[in-house]
A and B are shown apart, each in its own frame.
Chain A
Amino acid sequence: MKKLLGALLGGAALFAVSGSAMAGEKCDVIHWWTSGGEAAAVAEFAKAFNAAGGEWIDTAIAGGGGDNARAVGIPRIMAGDPPCAMQFNYGKQFDELVSNGFLRNLDDAAKAGGWEAATPPITWGQIQRDGHVMAVPVNIHGSNWSWWSKAALEKAGATMPTNWDEVWVALDKLKAAGITPVAASGQAWQLDMMFQFMVLSIAGNDTFKAVYGDHSEEAVKSDAFKQAIAAFLKVKNYIDAGSANRNWNDASAMVINGTAGVQFMGDWAKGEFVSAGKTEGTDYYCKTTFSDKKGYIFGGDIFVFPVSKNADTTKAQDLLMNTMFSKETQVAFNLKKGSAPVRQDVDTSKVDPCGQEALKLIANPATQVAGADATNTPDAVNAMRDVLASQWTDPNATVDTFVEKFVPALMTDM
């Protein structure tokens, strides 16, 4: 156990001496985009940056929704050997890097590039800390999506559901046909994606915001929220035996191959469908909600630029942030990534039907919802995920035991 902080301190001393010896407009970028669709998307960044005269040095660190990348990147920043750029998600993951002055203030670039006018308010808010722009946003991910296999539905004699009653009917039919109805994973963050989908779609925007944004205990105990919990627990009847530690892209592959009916996952899953050569409507369906309660849970990726003593690195950072935010790169990157461009002033004619629906929801203030990890610390988000995971695996879990455990987890930050 001691090794860990030992490595931190030892690393600090070591890196302080060696420093970063970068030449030219090289930029090493830490990110965690390693699945097929993600890698194709990040290659667009690299291509554009290299074409603009930079040299992209790829530091891709797989796994855990970025856990591993952050475990490498944050100590490097603390130790004085920061990467040129580093990926984060919307949310509070990089708050303390900002408050300790590790990151570059991007106010000038944001002003020059017209970032405020181009981005929707939630995104604009997410990249600011104390009124200063501290990160460049690169995309908007919606986490409340479901991906349905057309082949599986047809084989089971089911139709694409349009409301929750039909969802359960379709799942029953899939089960009866011997197809795994839901391509689920026991990994806590994936359960969280599914749960938030249900909260938004069943309990609605207001309850969602009251729970995750305002930490209202009353909202957790409301009937609407309890219905979402019941739906979440009900899905347990529709999973297969191999779901415990399944990676999200393996679950996507099950839907792509038609061996499972549906996956509840954010729109990064679309990248997997795209890279497998599938098209919406003919191979798969996408859907954000199964009720009249429409909403779009905003998430997304941003890049921060740690303060560097090396002038060349600073120059490379300037080039990279403008490249990432440029209209052409935004379109090329997001088509592959499955997410929506962070700029609302780009040509969206090439965007597929799922993406068009996303753009509509993103543009409408009434359907903009900040996801749980945008309004809670990683500590609190994961405490809630512990509850989801333990209730998911506990055969005796009920709506009441769920609520009882969920309330203290939600209050972790309080």
Chain B
Amino acid sequence: MANKRRRNLAPVLAIAPFWVLILVAYLGTMLFTILMSFTNSKTLPKLEFVGLKQYQRLFTTDLWITASQNIWAFSILLILISLTVGFLLAVALDQKIRAEDTIRTIILYPYAMSFIVTGLIWQWLLNPQLGLQKAMHDLGWESFSFTWTQDPSMAIYSIIIGGVWQGSGLVMAIMLAGLRSIDQEIWKAAKIDGIPDWRVYISIVIPMMRPTIVTAVVLMSLGAVKAYDIVVALTGGGPGSSSFTPALFIMNFFFTRQNVGLGAAACTVVLVVVSVFFVPWFYYEYFREEKRGH
């Protein structure tokens, strides 16, 4: 036992700076934010406690209600569509096609672009007077109408389009790696049994790719929860405030509206929601195997 402890000392020392960083920069600021959410801070943080007043105001603010509804629709659809598109692209690429490298690079390319650039590109493409709709009208399809970015009930979905375009390349790359790691013997066995390809994918390959899919979902959901820049560039939270997201709300209250207290309250709510929904699931997915192994 003592021997084991000594052996562990070196790695512990090596990792100590990271612990300091995590405790101060992550945990410390988290606690500081939670503390701020109980204060009356405006432009600058100050310790003037007002109890739960900020939370009361938060939950009666229309903007926050819109933002929190949007983030559910946005995250769920973004993840589902990106997964589906990414998986189908990966399957298509996995058919031993020609020029796979080139096509893979092209599909992965959008991921190399920042969300701001993505947002701007799609703002122009989806602007009825500049982009897709105008192109169709110019080609003679006069009745074509695509005005999601201008329509308060659809604006959040226009952001999903941009998000999917940007993110599905990454999902494809992950999925492709997952597909390649499937043992070829399984395919041969299925061939011998005469099982159709689609059935192999659904009943054998996808269940075997569970860790890969989990990785993709985790990456996508992290991106979705903090969706900020793509919203700013694509719709600016509008029309009106119909496509606000919690991240945009928080930045807006911290800086534009100079109300640190309310912004911190919103941060805390996001933290709690993420903790309640995601942390147990991450834990289950990532540490389950390990426990079983030991």
Does B associate with A?
A: yes
Comparing B85-93, B199-207, B233-241, B284-292, the segment that makes contact with chain A is: B233-241
Which residues of the other chain, A, contact B224 by a CB distance below 8 angstroms?
A: none
Q: Is the interface of A mostly helix, strand, loop or mixed?
A: helix
Smallest Cβ-Cβ distance to A7: which chain B residue: B29
Smallest Cβ-Cβ distance to A243: which chain B residue: B150
Q: Which one of B30, B36, B262 has the highest number of Cβ atoms from chain A below 10 Å of its Cβ?
A: B30
Q: Is the pair A242, B128 in contact by a Cβ cutoff of 8 Å? A: yes
Nearest CB in chain A: distance from B238 CB, A: 5
Which listed residue, A97, A100, A378, touches B257 by the CB 8 Å rule?
A378
Which residues of the other chain, B, contact A276 by a CB distance below 8 angstroms?
A: none
**Once the chains are docked, how many angstroms separate the CA of A391 from the CA of B246?**
21
Which residues of the other chain, A, contact B250 by a CB distance below 8 angstroms?
A: 1, 4
Which residues of the other chain, A, contact B270 by a CB distance below 8 angstroms?
A: 1
- Contact of A186 with B238 at beta-carbon distance under 8 Å, contacts A9-B28, A386-B63 already known: yes
B129 within 8 A of A: yes
Nearest CB in chain A: distance from B256 CB, A: 4
Smallest Cβ-Cβ distance to B152: which chain A residue: A393
**Docked complex: A373-387 residues within 8 A CB-CB of B:** 377-379, 382-383, 386
Q: What are 8 A-B pairs at a CB distance below 8 A?
A: A1-B246, A2-B33, A4-B250, A4-B254, A244-B238, A245-B149, A378-B259, A390-B241
Smallest Cβ-Cβ distance to A259: which chain B residue: B129
**Once the chains are docked, how many angstroms separate the CA of A45 from the CA of B150?**
39
Which residues of the other chain, A, contact B253 by a CB distance below 8 angstroms?
A: 379
Q: Is the interface of B mostly helix, strand, loop or mixed?
A: helix
Smallest Cβ-Cβ distance to A408: which chain B residue: B60
How many A-B residue contacts, CB cutoff 8 Å?
134
Please count how many residues in chain A sit with their CB below 8 Å of the partner chain's CB atoms. Answer: 42
Which listed residue, B24, B155, B247, B254, touches A244 by the CB 8 Å rule?
B155
Q: Is the pair B147, A241 in contact by a Cβ cutoff of 8 Å? A: yes
Which residues of the other chain, B, contact A9 by a CB distance below 8 angstroms?
A: 24-25, 28-29, 32
Q: Is the pair B43, A95 in contact by a Cβ cutoff of 8 Å? A: yes
B73 within 8 A of A: no
Q: Per-position contact with B for A161-197: 1 when CB-CB < 8 Å, else 0? A: 0000000000000000000000000111000000000
**Once the chains are docked, how many angstroms separate the CA of A93 from the CA of B234?**
27
**Docked complex: B118-151 residues within 8 A CB-CB of A:** 123, 127-130, 147, 149-150
A392 within 8 A of B: yes
- Contact of A64 with B240 at beta-carbon distance under 8 Å, contacts A1-B226, A9-B32, A244-B235 already known: no
B42 within 8 A of A: yes
A394 within 8 A of B: yes
Q: Is the pair A377, B28 in contact by a Cβ cutoff of 8 Å? A: no
Nearest CB in chain A: distance from B226 CB, A: 7
Nearest CB in chain A: distance from B27 CB, A: 9
**Once the chains are docked, how many angstroms separate the CA of A255 from the CA of B234?**
24
Nearest CB in chain A: distance from B199 CB, A: 44
Nearest CB in chain B: distance from A31 CB, A: 16
**Once the chains are docked, how many angstroms separate the CA of A377 from the CA of B261?**
14
Which residues of the other chain, A, contact B24 by a CB distance below 8 angstroms?
A: 9
Which 3 pairs, one residue from A and one from B, show the smallest C-beta to C-beta distance?
A393-B240, A96-B43, A71-B255
- Contact of A93 with B258 at beta-carbon distance under 8 Å, contacts A9-B28, A9-B29, A242-B150 already known: yes
Smallest Cβ-Cβ distance to B134: which chain A residue: A242
- Contact of A394 with B44 at beta-carbon distance under 8 Å, contacts A2-B267, A5-B32, A377-B258 already known: no
Q: Is the pair B251, A4 in contact by a Cβ cutoff of 8 Å? A: yes
Q: Per-position contact with A for B252-289: 1 when CB-CB < 8 Å, else 0? A: 11111111001010110011000000000000000000
Smallest Cβ-Cβ distance to B254: which chain A residue: A4
Q: Is the pair B258, A1 in contact by a Cβ cutoff of 8 Å? A: no
